[in-house]
Amino acid sequence: MSRISFKVTGAQGQGINSVGEMVAKGLKRAGHHVFGYREYMSVIKGGHSSYQLDICDSHIESSETHVDILVCLNYIGLQRDLGSVKEGGVLLHLIPDWKFSAEDQKMLDDKKIQILYLPMEKILKEHNSRPIVGNMCVTAVVWGLLGRNYDTLKDMAAEQFAHKGEKVIALNHTFIDEGKKFKEESAGAIVIDVPSPDAARTDDLLVTGSEAMGMGMVHAGCRMYCGYPMTPASPLLKYIADNQNKTNMVVKQAEDEITAIQMVSGAMHMGTRAATATSGGGYDLMSETLSLNGIIENPSVMVLAMRQGPSTGLPTWSGQGDMLLSIFGSHGEYPRLVMAVSDSQDCFDLMPDAFNYAEEYQLPVTILTDKHIAEGLYMQPQYDLKKAKISRGNLVTKQAELDKLVSADRYNPAAKDGISPRWLPGAKAATYCAQGDEHDSEGNVEEGGQNAIEQMDKRMKKMAVMKAALPDPELFGDQNPETLIVSWGSNKGCILDAIKDQKGIGYLHYSYLWPLRIEKLEALAAKAKKIIFIEATYQGHLSKLIRMESGLTFDHQILKYDGRPFFFDELQGKLLTMNN
């Protein structure tokens, strides 16, 4: 496997994403495999942020710690990020008269790093232009360093600025020419080889996990979305809201997270498919409502987009530390499904499943994602739109069947598998109460002990039935592994990249976390010589859950809780050490 990477760093608001996204799109359209990764701080302007693009000769879903090309739009990158340039790499910066410290200069010399100073201030002055246009020049230099054709870049600029008119397009073309001139005059000989493309993937999508999830929800028949802004759940709200005039969905930015989940619950109770998303803090606020949906057996779907740390923690960074919260948080005992997406494929494919499970088993479904997935840029084969089926479980809509219903059918503890018929407000049928107090079959408040047992048994029976119906965790890599890796969520991308083509290593990936299926894991663990557990938490949540459910323990754990995702070279190194 051959891979390279480049990173743009600068202050938020300087337009680093525009450089990264333009290069990503250009490479993708030529069939190169790319993966984009953003780091940024919780501020609107300023702060120090970066956009990294990794490019590979096969499918890729991870980033490296070191890059072949580092672009610094401001001096902070020159102080902080120098160490991340690979030996023989290129450093491109825009800072006039910059003097490296003696120590930095030695490091740059030792690593034979080529330093390019792009006189952006001068170029902007010559064209009497605003700094933001300069990013097109930077893009052009990177484009040249990657040995690309400048005409392709010009076509993309024309496409991107088509809505702004000819003048803006012409200006951007001028800055592409400036970049080309600089590249040819100052760095003529330097070309970083781009790993070979795959012609079959030129029509792929370039999507973030949030966009993929948004499309997946629309595909799944989700017709209403309520959300309260919170990173890293906000990009999903933004995607859904931005597209409301195309999808005709009801979109509501709620006054708080409790409102968002309550509105979703009301809408689902009424019979549509609705969803909300939040991060850990918002989930805390929503959890009481999940419990309500548990007892009234109301389907609901919510996304918990995780970030690192307690309280506000690291609000724009990634982590998996809310997993046990999503399983055990919220009061009382009630059935629920917790599932986790891992990349842009899951983000789309699992949305119909999430709604189907919610409706089939009439319970709250939590979908875990994280900042790394939500804002990661994936190269995604076009989605198969024929695959998903809608399943609404025991929803009764035909009048002949509605006529037969009595109120007591709604929560009758004798219902097969604990799953009652469900019918919607407005249906011409016997009415019932969706009762948040413990209740009898009709939803009347009932505090008797025997009734409490029967109703709890009824509800929890659904968990057992659902567990039997859920897919097993999926085994990737060696199908008869000596070394078995177990993990979930966004770690999958990096793990698969790290074990690619390695014999003897298999990766068991969990998409469904609660209820937890352990038979396949136990069978594989019995044969494996070594089991390695990987998670972006301090405590190793899934390992604790597995131990609780099966008694199985892990001798080797790779845990990480610095807010950063697992990086390709970092994980590969750790696995190598562990496997020797």
Closest Cα to residue 148, out of 64, 29, 21?
29
Is residue 330 within 8 Å of residue 291, measured between CB atoms? yes
Cα–Cα dist 285/124, whole Å = 49
Sheet holding 224-227, edge to edge: 250-253, 224-227, 274-278, 300-306, 364-370, 337-340, 512-514
Minimum Å distance from CB 262 to another protein?
A: 4
Residue nearer to another protein on the CB measure, 259 or 483:
259
Residue nearer to another protein on the CB measure, 46 or 425:
425
Minimum Å distance from CB 24 to another protein?
A: 11
Minimum Å distance from CB 374 to another protein?
A: 16
Cα–Cα dist 563/379, whole Å = 23
Minimum Å distance from CB 396 to another protein?
A: 13
Residue nearer to another protein on the CB measure, 29 or 530:
29
Decide the pairing of beta strands 474-477 and 505-510: antiparallel
Minimum Å distance from CB 436 to another protein?
A: 5
Paired with 50 in beta bridges are 9, 39
User: Helix, strand or coil for residue 355?
Assistant: helix
Cα–Cα dist 546/60, whole Å = 29
User: Helix, strand or coil for residue 194?
Assistant: coil
Contacts for 126 with CB less than 8 Å, ≥ 6 apart: none
Q: Please, what sign has the CA dihedral across residues 114, 118, 119, 121?
A: negative
Residue nearer to another protein on the CB measure, 95 or 285:
285
Residue nearer to another protein on the CB measure, 86 or 269:
269
Residue nearer to another protein on the CB measure, 382 or 580:
382
Q: How far are the Cα atoms of 407, 438, 441 from residue 433, in angstroms, in the given order?
A: 9, 11, 10
E strand spans, 73-215: 85-93, 114-117, 205-208
Minimum Å distance from CB 38 to another protein?
A: 17
Minimum Å distance from CB 434 to another protein?
A: 4
Cα–Cα dist 176/157, whole Å = 9
Residue nearer to another protein on the CB measure, 253 or 480:
253
Phi, psi (degrees; rounded to nearest 5) at 304: -110, 105
| Total length of the chain | 580
Is residue 195 within 8 Å of residue 244, measured between CB atoms? no
Residue nearer to another protein on the CB measure, 300 or 369:
300
Residue nearer to another protein on the CB measure, 432 or 512:
432
Residue nearer to another protein on the CB measure, 253 or 539:
253
Minimum Å distance from CB 34 to another protein?
A: 13
Minimum Å distance from CB 544 to another protein?
A: 30
Residue nearer to another protein on the CB measure, 137 or 347:
347
Residue nearer to another protein on the CB measure, 244 or 312:
244
Residue nearer to another protein on the CB measure, 259 or 320:
259
Cα–Cα dist 293/237, whole Å = 22
Minimum Å distance from CB 265 to another protein?
A: 6
Minimum Å distance from CB 329 to another protein?
A: 16
CA 250 to chain centre: 24
Minimum Å distance from CB 75 to another protein?
A: 35
Whose tokens are 């949305």? That residue is 351
DSSP characters over 380-409: EPPP-TTS-----TTB---HHHHHH--GGG
Closest Cα to residue 466, out of 550, 353, 549, 298?
353
Is residue 357 within 8 Å of residue 391, measured between CB atoms? no
Minimum Å distance from CB 260 to another protein?
A: 8
Cα–Cα dist 462/479, whole Å = 32
Cα–Cα dist 254/265, whole Å = 13
